[in-house]
Structure 1
Amino acid sequence: MLVCIGDVVEDVVIWTDAPLHHGTDNPGRIVRTRGGSAANVAVFAAASGAPTRFVGRVGDDALGRSLEEQLTVDGVEPRLQHLGRTGSIVVLVAPDGERTMFPDRAAAAELADVPADWLAGARVVHAPAYSLLDGPIGATTRELLTAARAAGALVSVDVSSVDLVRRVGAEAFADLLRAIAPDLLFANADEAAALGLGTSSALPGTTLVLKAGAGTAVVLAPDGTRHEVAPEPVAAVRDTTGAGDAFAAGYLSALLDGAAPPAAALAGHRLAARVLASPGARLA
């Protein structure tokens, strides 16, 4: 089973028809959908056939209950705390597919006192870096990852955001990763550069998976083995929201099925391609 720890929120996705004009109307399309990096990975992995559980917190409100129901419908086993106000993220998507995000995590960042049995049966436990830092969720997630490793599960972390690395500081962020010592670390080129990553020796014992969007993904094993895996062509890209999460989900799902790194990376590419034409983190 794959267990994902982190945020489940509402994404308010705004597709603009033209470059943004300040101080006036901007025609566009608005879609509300489930979001949150960890929840995205859980939903996408479930769509790939992997047994998946999501651990997080939503508000004690109608939106939180709706998001919980959506996770269940999507084949994910939700283990949620209900307290406070459910979070939302406004995602502004330009015509070229580039995103600008305005997160309000609200209750999601307050995850605490998680029962140990919420990790029962986990073979891989995944957390985006958002889950490791801000608010009570940071200490909670780090404790859960330690418990997961002690129980024999693999630990997976996604760097998630170059802005996050810069706000925390590259050295402090690297120290956190060294303390967690994940078995798998996902990062894009900007995130890896900000952390000074690029060789498997940067984090001993960690397999580094470098995502590259439409470019070639690189998997660097702890023993120095390097795999380069190019994606298959994608006809059109309208919204990249959730593509990195889909890549991680495809990779981890394939890993659970026993796939070698090249096949796992190809599975990640294929799943990521399915979100590029839909508003928000949704599979076409």
Structure 2
Amino acid sequence: MRPVLVVGDLATDVVAVLSGEPAPGSDRPASIRTRGGGAGANVAVHLGRLGVPVTFAGCIGADAAGSALLGELTAAGVDLAVRVVPAAATGTIVSLVEPGGQRSMLADRGANLDLAPGDVPAPASGEHLHLSGYTLLDPRPRPAGLAALASAAAAGATTSLDPASTGPLTAYGVDRWLADTAGVTLVLPNADEARLLTGCADVADAARALAARHPAVAVTLGAEGALWCSGDVLVHRPALPTEVVDTTGAGDAFTAGLLAAWLADEQPTPAGLLDAGLALAATAVARPGAR
């Protein structure tokens, strides 16, 4: 199993599962829980639990929340390359989950925005770098993300990246994102992100367009499963039947499941890679929280 370096956000998720539709201007009963989150950290924790050698690089504030998050990562078997930023608070994400699992997220990224190039270890030859797209979408941590990609390329390491979210991706600029990520080995967008990045209305056409730029693409389709595209190969696999409680972190779980299969010593088929990602995503959406 090849080791993985994950670079990205580490945060506290405050997950509010609503008992009914939102009630603007009034009250709505909800089940509220605090859990570990952050797209990069979610991937790292899932990989660690799957037995993949993994290191997480990121930043936290000098507070109890940050210490608790580091304890969770360590308990999952994740090695840490995390800098404490005394003047910043650890990131917090509020997730409002509606009936059926659809969620809205409110992000205070806190110390994650202080990530600097020096915070990211240089990947070794044979290692894999997974970069959370959020790292590129803000001008402060962007140099760290670009430096991580450049260092991985210099070492001959394989790389993967998720585009993160359509809102900040639109603000960042599609052309700039495509230029910044041109050398990435595996891109992992959801359907909306794939359409945004290519201008293709059909998600299969979007996957093919991205596969013309990258060696491999895996597109998550929510309840419809996922697509794999590499060269002329296009494979679809359905989602596993499951009761959806909370979709927060489903994409991160899919990424970790797929990467664990991809980086193993075996040579799985595209269908096997998708099935591995979809199986872990099905487990993630069946409970509140990202991990």
The two structures have a TM-score, normalised by structure 2, of: 0.90
- Shifted more, 237-246 versus 118-127: the winner is 118-127
User: Structure 2: any 5+ residue segments left out of the alignment?
Assistant: 199-205
Deviation (angstroms), 1:63: 1.2
Distance (Å, rounded) in 1 between the aligned partners of 2:123 and 2:210: 30
The one of 215, 225, 228 equivalent to 2:233 is 225
Report if aligned partners of 1:239, 1:277 keep a CA contact under 8 Å in 2.
yes
Distance (Å, rounded) in 1 between the aligned partners of 2:155 and 2:270: 24
Flag the 1:201–1:20 CA change in 2: closer, same or farther, 3 A.
Answer: closer
In structure 1, the residue matched to 2:286 is 277
Moved over 4 A (4+): 115-118, 200-203
Deviation (angstroms), 1:194: 0.8
Question: Within the alignment, does 1:98 sit opposite 2:102 as a pair?
Answer: yes
Flag the 1:116–1:162 CA change in 2: closer, same or farther, 3 A.
Answer: closer
The one of 145, 150, 156 equivalent to 1:152 is 156
Deviation (angstroms), 1:119: 3.3
Distance (Å, rounded) in 2 between the aligned partners of 1:80 and 1:122: 22
In structure 1, the residue matched to 2:194 is 192
The one of 159, 163, 166 equivalent to 2:167 is 163
Question: Within the alignment, does 1:173 sit opposite 2:177 as a pair?
Answer: yes
Flag the 1:81–1:217 CA change in 2: closer, same or farther, 3 A.
Answer: same
- Shifted more, 269-278 versus 255-264: the winner is 255-264
Question: Within the alignment, does 1:265 sit opposite 2:274 as a pair?
Answer: yes
Deviation (angstroms), 1:173: 2.5
Counterpart amino acid of 1:93?
Answer: V
In structure 1, the residue matched to 2:20 is 18
Distance (Å, rounded) in 2 between the aligned partners of 1:98 and 1:74: 27
Distance (Å, rounded) in 2 between the aligned partners of 1:115 and 1:129: 17
In structure 1, the residue matched to 2:201 is none
In structure 2, the residue matched to 1:8 is 10
Report if aligned partners of 2:52, 2:260 keep a CA contact under 8 Å in 1.
yes
In structure 2, the residue matched to 1:255 is 262
In structure 1, the residue matched to 2:202 is none
Counterpart amino acid of 1:99?
Answer: R
Flag the 1:93–1:155 CA change in 2: closer, same or farther, 3 A.
Answer: same
SS of corresponding position for 2:223: coil
Deviation (angstroms), 1:185: 0.2
The two structures have a TM-score, normalised by structure 1, of: 0.92
In structure 1, the residue matched to 2:84 is 82
The one of 219, 243, 250 equivalent to 1:243 is 250
Distance (Å, rounded) in 1 between the aligned partners of 2:41 and 2:95: 16
Report if aligned partners of 2:9, 2:38 keep a CA contact under 8 Å in 1.
yes
Distance (Å, rounded) in 1 between the aligned partners of 2:59 and 2:126: 19
Report if aligned partners of 1:92, 1:101 keep a CA contact under 8 Å in 2.
yes
Report if aligned partners of 1:17, 1:28 keep a CA contact under 8 Å in 2.
yes
Report if aligned partners of 1:200, 1:208 keep a CA contact under 8 Å in 2.
no
Distance (Å, rounded) in 2 between the aligned partners of 1:118 and 1:279: 35
Deviation (angstroms), 1:105: 0.2
Distance (Å, rounded) in 2 between the aligned partners of 1:107 and 1:48: 28
- Between the aligned residues of both structures, percent identity stands at 35
- Shifted more, 18-27 versus 95-104: the winner is 18-27
SS of corresponding position for 2:189: strand
Aligned residues: 278
Distance (Å, rounded) in 1 between the aligned partners of 2:235 and 2:132: 23
SS of corresponding position for 1:125: strand
Distance (Å, rounded) in 2 between the aligned partners of 1:112 and 1:272: 31
Flag the 1:123–1:154 CA change in 2: closer, same or farther, 3 A.
Answer: same
